Amino acid sequence: MDEGCEKGCQEVLNSLPSEKELLEDVVDKLKDKPVYKTLKRGLKEGGKQDIKFLKGLFSLGTHIVIECEHGHPEYKILLPTLHARIGRLMQEI
């Protein structure tokens, strides 16, 4: 592979937001919605065995899909992690 091309590709990859940054961004967009308080409370309490936190996670998934519909496909990267978290929580409840 051409060294210049490889360096350019790496620069592009390094400029992309991380999964953590995308999650923080989408959660920040929810600050005026009830789901925000549900998620914050659930995260503070560890989100264990809490049906309301589970509902909040499903709602977060909906908001992630809405972001994708609005022309931000980069948020799709959050869906597998969210799906796994929902699955674990469902087993705990």
Specify the pLDDT at position 34.
92
pTM (predicted TM-score): 0.81
pLDDT of residue 10: 77
> What digits encode the pLDDT tens for the residues 23-75?
999 999 999 999 999 888 888 877 666 888 999 999 999 999 999 999 999 99
Host H or E run for residue 50? none
Taking the CA atoms of 55, 80, 44 and 63 in sequence, report the sign of the dihedral they define.
Answer: negative
Number of domains in the chain: 1
Asked if residue 12 is part of any domain, the answer here is no
Report if residue 86 sits inside a domain. yes
**What's the CA gap between 60 and 46, in Å, rounded?**
17
Q: Tell me, yes or no, whether 85 lies in a domain.
A: yes
Q: Is residue 11 part of a domain?
A: no
Q: Is residue 78 part of a domain?
A: yes
What residue numbers bound the domain in which 21 lies? 17-92
